[in-house]
Amino acid sequence: MKYVISDVMTITKRQLLQLARIPELLVFSTIQPVMFVLLFRFVFGGSIETGQPGGYVQLLMPGIFVQTVAFTLAATAVGLAEDMKKGLIDRFRSLPISRGAVVIGRTFGDALLNILVLTVMATAGYAVGWRPTSGSLSIFLAFLFLFMFGYALSWIGIYVGLAVKEARTVQSVGFLVTFPLTFLSNAFAPTTGMPKALQYFAEWNPVSTMVAACRELFGLKNEFGATASSWPSQHPLETSLLYMFLLMVVFIPLSIRKYKNTSN
């Protein structure tokens, strides 16, 4: 349909307009990641030994970046569930617009918000001593990776939002999934201290491979890996790309189909 692009843009624009109309939303979506940066930097930063020049914050920032974009899953899911509850999705579905436009538009909106959040976090990180040492191309690639990871997770969020429907439940489900995922990883502490089974999980955890990939792109050695010999630890970039590809291949068609078939 020739209107697909304009439909998607209208839906995306709606989310940006929300931010313009209620600027507090913007503050709330950026305050939590910034708080995490500060808390981890000053609470753990002093006691975690790293062989890294520049200290813990260098390892921490990629971890927090990944954690924050991982929360996109919950953000997308909650946003969609709220729209459904308020009947807005019903109205959209009664309009002559292309099938995927509403959900695609939402994933774009959430992705654009991520750009903003990442920018604010990078600034906060810089302020507390984070200094990536790689070149600007690598740094750009790292952020592109983060952006894509958030986008891929957004599509799971669409599915969760449509399946669970109740915004509050969605919120809990989102956190129940993303919290363990981000902590059972190399994001904040070395995986070597974990029990064997968890170590294994942490190594294959997409959050770990993403964090490791970003650390590499920011010019760090990935110190928090457990056994450097495992495949995902050796090839974090490739593994992460593979994960993102799989997520999108599975969840984009699944979520669009779910949207078409879902009603309150």
Partner 1 sequence: MKSVIAENLVKTYRNGEVKALDNLSLDVEEGTVLGVLGPNGAGKTTTVRILATLLKPDSGIATVAGIDVAKHPDKVRELIGLSGQYAAVDETLTGWDNLVMFGRLYHLGKSASIKRADELLERFSLTDSARRPIKTYSGGMRRRLDLAASLIVQPKVLFLDEPTTGLDPRGRQEMWGVIQELVKGGVTLLLTTQYLEEADQLADEIAVIDHGKVIARGTSDALKKQVGGERLEITVDNTDIHKTQEIVSRISSNAIHTDVRTISAPVSTGSLALMEALRALDEAKIHPLDIALKRPSLDDVFLSLTGHVAEEEVIAQPVKKKRGGKK
Instruction: Give the footprint of partner 1 on this chain (CB under 8 A).
Output: 3, 6-7, 10, 13-14, 17-18, 21-22, 25, 86-88, 90-97, 263
Closer to partner 1 at the Cβ: 70 or 256?
Answer: 256
List the alpha helices (DSSP H) in 71-223: 72-85, 88-93, 101-127, 136-164, 167-183, 196-204, 206-217
Interacting residues of 90 by C-beta distance below 8 A, sequence separation 6+: 84, 263, 264
The residue length of the chain stands at 264
Q: Are 10 and 102 in contact (CB under 8 A)?
A: no
Shortest CB 103 distance to partner 1, Å? 14
How far is the C-alpha of 82 from the C-alpha of 163, rounded, in Å?
13
State the nearest-atom distance from the C-beta of 3 to partner 1, in Å. Answer: 5
Nearer to partner 1, 4 or 237 (CB): 4
CB of 28 to partner 1, least distance (A): 13
Closest CB to partner 1 among residues 7, 216: 7
Min separation Cβ 161 and partner 1, Å: 16
Of residues 10 and 52, the one with the C-beta less far from partner 1: 10
DSSP 191: G
Considering the complex, state which of residue 12 and residue 240 has its C-beta at the smaller distance from partner 1.
12
What distance in Å separates the CA atoms of residue 21 and residue 15, rounded to the nearest whole number? 10
Q: In angstroms, what is the minimal distance from the CB of 88 to partner 1?
A: 5
SS3 content of the chain, % helix, strand, coil (to 5): 75, 0, 25
Residue 253, number of CB atoms within 10 A of its CB: 12
